[in-house]
Amino acid sequence: MREPTIQGDPNRGEPSGRKGRDEPSRPVDAVEEKLRPQRLSEVVGQRSVAERLAIALAACKKRNEPLPHILFDGPPGLGKTTFATVLHNELGVELNMTSGPALDKKLDVMPYLTNAAEGSILFIDEIHRLPIAVEEFIYPVMEDFRVDMVLGEGMSARTINLPLKRFTIIGATTRSGMLSSPLRDRFHMHEHLEFYDADELARIVIVNAAKLKTTIAEDAAWELAQRSRGTPRLANARLRWVRDFATARSDGHVSLAIARDALDMQEIDAEGMDKQDRRYLDTLIKVFNGGPTGAEAISATMNVAVDTLTDEVEPYLLRKHFIVRTPRGRKATPLAYRHLNYPEPLPDPDFSIGNQRRLFDV
């Protein structure tokens, strides 16, 4: 099994919302890599995605062709990089990893294209952040495995076509809506990753506890799963914290009581929300009277990057119906008020029956 090569962007894996072009980023985490499934059979959940990928793998193996270009989208930590790693292992081909922000110019992407081996995989994380010039440069790569280069200037300028080996581009994005349609259309498979249910996360926790040589009670694994916001990366992070807590406070075994104490100490509540999630709801309710208001206004008040809110905080709150998105912005639902123990707001007068009668004159 070949090790993937990570070039250009040593910080891959950082959720896109936290990483701006000039922001310092986190190095690749060795423990996280150790926990990553390596084979399709090890992947938990996302059954229909895994089944479609198994078909694509079988077909390309039989025809001895590279995999089709694949686009994965979904919130951070749900398995986009994991699927790319698994595909590379299943095929036994080279995997090169980079990200949209690292490919600033055509020259940055050139080495990945010219060095790509036949059938290999190029993984581009945060592909929605590719500059348009680079994006257009890779269209002929994705269609015909060639790059078009203009040599010279003015009257003497000419275009040369450089043929490339046939390889696969796997794109990952947390914002599929930001992808231009010409780029989106060049991917033959589009796979959307969904949040995991508690059952699936509990299975991931149990498997990963064994990889970390930690014993964990089944009810403790379930507790972690329920408090991980449907996200395997968070389940891993919670497991690592709970494991440290168990080692420091007792004999290293993770019982239900230990798991609860450890998560409470991190201020992770029964819904799996952390301080930042609750601060978001608190700001929306207390400062903006429950909304509707725009993400930019909440971001400015909280002093948190708007990308962090839209990529990391909001998807789960939307999924759990703590907030809704309206044409006028985000709005807290009665569930959010109840969760924070605030009195529920009176029904919106604009939508009361009496008012509707008046509005529509019925």
Q: Which residue ranges make up the site for ligand ADP (CB under 6 A)? A: 13, 32, 35-37, 43-46, 76-82, 172, 204, 232-233, 236
Catalytic residue among 12, 19, 80, 240: 80
| Shortest reach from residue 231's CB to ligand ADP, in Å | 8
As measured in angstroms, the least distance from the Cβ of 205 to ligand ADP is 10
Residue type at 308 in one-letter notation: T
The answer to whether residue 174 is catalytic is yes
Smallest separation, CB 241 to ligand ADP (Å) = 15
Report DSSP state, residue 167.
-
DSSP per residue over 309-357, as a string?
Answer: IIIIIHHHHHHTTSEEEETTEEEE-HHHHHHTTPPPPPPPGGGSHHHHH
80 is catalytic: yes
Identity of residue 31: V
Q: For this structure, is 34 an active site residue?
A: no
CA distance 88 to 36: 13
The single-letter DSSP state of residue 285 is I
Q: Which two tokens stand for residue 49?
A: 């995605």
Q: Which of residues 193 and 336 has its CB atom nearest to ligand ADP in the complex? A: 193
* Pick 45 or 329: Cβ nearer ligand ADP: 45
User: What one-letter code names the amino acid at 259?
Assistant: A
Q: Is 81 among the residues known to form the active site?
A: yes
Among 9, 36, 73, 81, the one annotated catalytic: 81
Q: Which is nearer to ligand ADP, 228 or 333 (CB)?
A: 228
Distance of CA 149 to the CA centre of its chain: 34
Assign 3-state DSSP to the chain and report helix, strand, coil percentages, each to 5.
50, 15, 35
Q: Which of 174, 231, 310, 333 is catalytic?
A: 174
Nearest CB to ligand ADP, comparing residues 99 and 283: 99
Picking from 239, 250, 180, the residue whose alpha carbon sits closest to that of residue 211 is 239
Nearest approach in angstroms of CB 121 to ligand ADP is 14
Active site residue 125: yes
Closest CA to 67 of 185, 169, 192, 142: 169
Residue 254, Cα to own-chain centre: how many angstroms?
A: 28
Burial (0-12, 13-18, 19+ Cβ within 10 Å), 362:
exposed
What is the rounded CA–CA span in Å between residue 152 and residue 138?
21
- Judged by CB, which is closer to ligand ADP: 83, or 280? 83
Could you say which of 9, 73, 125, 311 is catalytic? 125
Q: Which residue type does 301 have? A: T
Q: How far is the CB of 244 from ligand ADP (least distance, A)?
A: 17
Q: Cβ of 197: how many Cβ atoms within 10 Å?
A: 12
Nearer residue to ligand ADP within complex by CB, 72 or 280: 72
Choice between 32 and 261, CB closer to ligand ADP: 32
Write down the least CB distance from residue 206 to ligand ADP, Å: 11
Which residues make Cβ contacts (< 8 Å) with residue 361, sequence separation at least 6?
A: none
- Alpha-carbon distance of 298 to 293, in angstroms, equals 8
Distance (Å, whole) CA 126 – CA 107: 19
CB atoms within 10 A of CB 193: 20
Q: How far is the CB of 358 from ligand ADP (least distance, A)?
A: 49
What residues act catalytically?
80-81, 125, 174, 233
